[in-house]
Amino acid sequence: MNITQSLQKWGNSAGIRIPKKIIEEAHLELNEPLEIRVEGRSVILTPVKKKEKITLEKLLHNVKPQDVGGEDDWGSPLGNEIW
């Protein structure tokens, strides 16, 4: 699909509107981060890979009970320590 658009002044920068058909064909989403790079006189927009959300469940997925040590006993409180 080829569409011609004009580069226009946008505040102190310049911008171009991306038609809905192009957004749909490229499977882009509004507010999606895009990497911008230049190759010769071409400007290339590439979606930034979304980082997978890290959860405690994912972090501990392969941990088994035998991999985890027991509690440490530091003895009775000494001095003015309060537990």
Domain extent, residue 55, equals 8-64
Whether 3 maps to a domain, the answer reads no
**How many CB atoms are closer than 10 A to CB 26?**
14
82 pLDDT higher than 80: no
User: Tokens in use for 53?
Assistant: 């959300």
Q: What is the CATH number of the domain that holds 51?
A: 2.10.260.10
| Residue pair 51/44 in contact by the 8 Å Cβ criterion | no
User: Tokens in use for 51?
Assistant: 């980082």
| Structure confidence at residue 83 (pLDDT) | 64
CA angle 23, 27, 32 (to 5 degrees): 80
Whether 14 maps to a domain, the answer reads yes
| Structure confidence at residue 64 (pLDDT) | 86
At 7, the pLDDT band (50, 70, 90 cuts) reads very high
Q: What is the pLDDT of residues 21-49, one digit of tens each?
A: 999 999 999 999 999 999 999 999 999 98
Number of domains the chain is built from: 1
